[in-house]
């Protein structure tokens, strides 16, 4: 997706992936100076990723552009088992650097549900808002995180947080 506006929408979905990128609403926001805007959207997603390189987000799996998420709600569950590297975030799985700097604004959103990372992967990054921010900036204002975040297993490097797993 590039420069889209998505508003006043309710999405309910359940799926399982072996590896790759998956978002409950958008798989990828591509590099662009034109913002993608998500406003007043409720996503109830139950996403399970099993092994392999995976990036999972309740709204967006991967972004490397300008993204605004406002007054939206994530309900559901994100579960990742046995793989590496992995990035899991209730709103965004992975904010990857690209030719444009990531500029992400998260305002007045609510996150609820379970986020679970288990297994023996080398690296795991898990958070209530963004699993990993590789480059760029996140401005987060007035967000509510009601999620249970569980990270367990024998990963060599585990990064987890209520807001961002790793920066």
Q: What's the pLDDT score for residue 165? A: 79
pTM of the model: 0.89
Tokens standing for residue 134: 């590789």
Q: How far is CA 117 from the centre of its chain?
A: 13
Of 30-44, 66-80, 81-95, the poorest mean pLDDT is in 81-95
Q: What's the pLDDT score for residue 83? A: 61
Q: How far apart are CA 104 and CA 120, in angstroms?
A: 31
- Helix or strand or coil: residue 162? coil
Q: What's the pLDDT score for residue 155? A: 61
Q: If you average pLDDT over every residue of the chain, what do you get?
A: 84
Q: How far apart are CA 51 and CA 92, in angstroms?
A: 19
Q: Does 2 have pLDDT greater than 60?
A: yes
| Distances in whole angstroms, Cα of residue 35 to Cα of each of 2, 43, 60, 68, 105 | 7, 20, 14, 7, 10
Residue written as token pair 């699993």: 131
Q: What's the pLDDT score for residue 108? A: 96
Beta-carbon contacts of residue 164 (< 8 Å; ≥ 6 apart)? 89, 127, 129, 130, 131, 132, 133, 138
Cβ-based burial of 127 (10 A; exposed 0-12, middle 13-18, buried ≥19): buried
Q: What's the pLDDT score for residue 16? A: 84
Q: What's the pLDDT score for residue 123? A: 67
Structure confidence at residue 128 as a pLDDT band (50, 70, 90): confident
């Amino acid at each position: 997706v590039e420069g889209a506006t998505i508003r006043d929408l309710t999405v309910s979905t359940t799926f399982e992936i072996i590896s790759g990128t998956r978002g409950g609403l958008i798989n990828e926001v591509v590099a662009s100076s034109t913002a993608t805007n998500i406003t007043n959207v409720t996503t109830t997603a139950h996403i399970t990723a099993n092994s392999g390189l995976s990036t999972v987000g309740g709204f967006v799996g991967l972004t490397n552009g300008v993204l605004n998420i406002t007054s939206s709600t994530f309900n559901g569950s994100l579960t990742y088992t046995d793989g590496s590297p992995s990035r899991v975030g209730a709103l965004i799985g992975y904010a990857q650097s690209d030719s444009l700097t990531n500029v992400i604004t998260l305002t007045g959103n609510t996150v609820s549900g379970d986020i679970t990372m288990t297994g023996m992967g080398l690296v795991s990054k898990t958070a209530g808002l963004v699993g990993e921010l590789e480059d760029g900036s996140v401005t987060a204002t007035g967000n509510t995180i009601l999620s249970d975040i569980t990270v367990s297993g024998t990963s060599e490097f585990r990064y987890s947080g209520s807001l961002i797993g790793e920066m």
